[in-house]
Amino acid sequence: MSTESIDPDLKEIDRWPLERAIAAILAGQGRAVAAVAQVSPQIADAANAAAGRLGSSGRIAYAGAGTSGRIGVQDGVELTPTFGWPEDRLAFFLAGGPDAMMRAVEGAEDDEHAGRMAVSDAGLGRADVLIALAASGRTPFTIGAVREARERGALAIAFANNPDSPLMAAAGEHGILLATGPEAIAGSTRLGAGTAQKAALNALSTAIMLKLGLVYRGLMVNMRISNAKLEGRAIAMIESVAGADADRAKDALAMAEGDIRTAVLIALGLDRAAARQALSTGEPFEALVERLRA
């Protein structure tokens, strides 16, 4: 496997001065991100397919083991505060269970049946999307999760860092290769492969949120406000989108009970009930704003 091979140019890295070693490691990180850029059309296709499946009730699920599994969890948990994605529409299938977030669980990734059972127990179905990651592309737990998800009608998207891998074959149309090659230090895929996976997930999940209309003019208008810093950002967004002054924006946010999109519509002249009703119709937020600003 390419991710397990030794880069002949780096086989003496442990004997180099640290500045040279760090420069080589960072160069590898740059190549990892470049590998993701090479497959941006495939990521866009996967995001379009995912948004079409999710609708108003579908779940986004992540499956993986070790580094890959933890990267998936990191991406998923950030969707709620940044895009307002409901927590009950997220699922995580990590080999070894929640304990594996903090420590290695020996042998857990080798159990394909456990991957299948995790997906089955969660009841994934046609409205759901499973995003799977494995640098090797051969992790039985993750392959089992993908196979079970597809058999149950869910959409599967898989990222692997080795070509022609079983994971990519199991995912079918949306098996995506992140061709990062050998790691700077052989024996683990937490460097280049991990960086590529994180960058790919950043692009994929953000693109899904874009397609679902949870971003307006480059602003995270559906984020959750959990501290004073984010409240300040929200007020600034309302000022910008609604053309309101700071006091009007702050009052609208309070009336909207912290919901930014509702607050924008209030700042544009609707009362809270009418704003919430308008948002519930399914009309794109941008269209609502333009109509009220006309």
3-state SS of the chain is CHHHCECHHHCCHHHCCHHHHHHHHHHHHHHHHHHHHCCHHHHHHHHHHHHHHHCCCCCEEEEECHHHHHHHHHHHHCHHHHHCCCHHHEEEEECCCHHHHCCCCCCHHHCHHHHHHHHHHHCCCCCCEEEEEECCCCCHHHHHHHHHHHHCCCEEEEEECCCCCHHHHHHHHHEEECCCCCECCCCCCCCHHHHHHHHHHHHHHHHHHHHCCCCECCECCCCCCCCHHHHHHHHHHHHHHHCCCHHHHHHHHHHCCCCHHHHHHHHCCCCHHHHHHHHHCCCCHHHHHHHHHC
pLDDT at res. 186? 67
The one-digit pLDDT tens for each residue of the chain (294 residues) are: 565 556 778 888 888 999 999 999 899 889 999 999 999 999 999 999 999 999 889 999 999 999 999 999 999 999 999 999 999 999 999 999 988 888 877 778 999 999 999 999 999 999 999 999 999 999 999 999 999 999 999 999 999 999 999 999 999 999 999 999 887 776 667 778 999 999 999 999 999 999 998 999 999 999 999 999 999 999 999 999 999 999 999 999 999 999 999 999 999 999 999 999 999 988 889 999 999 988
Catalytic status, residue 78 = yes
Please indicate whether the domains covering 2-211 and 228-293 agree at the CATH topology level. no
CATH topology assigned to domain 2-211: Rossmann fold (3.40.50)
pLDDT at res. 187? 60
Q: Domain ranges in the chain?
A: 2-211, 228-293
pLDDT at res. 154? 98
pLDDT at res. 5? 58
pLDDT at res. 181? 84
pLDDT at res. 191? 78
pLDDT at res. 6? 66
Indicate the pTM of the whole model.
Answer: 0.92
Catalytic status, residue 239 = no
pLDDT at res. 135? 93
Percentage of the chain lying above the pLDDT 90 cut = 81
Give domain 228-293's CATH number out of 3.40.309.10, 1.10.8.1080, 1.10.3210.10, 3.30.365.10.
1.10.8.1080
Catalytic residue among 78, 112, 231, 286: 78
Catalytic residue among 109, 148, 183, 239: 109
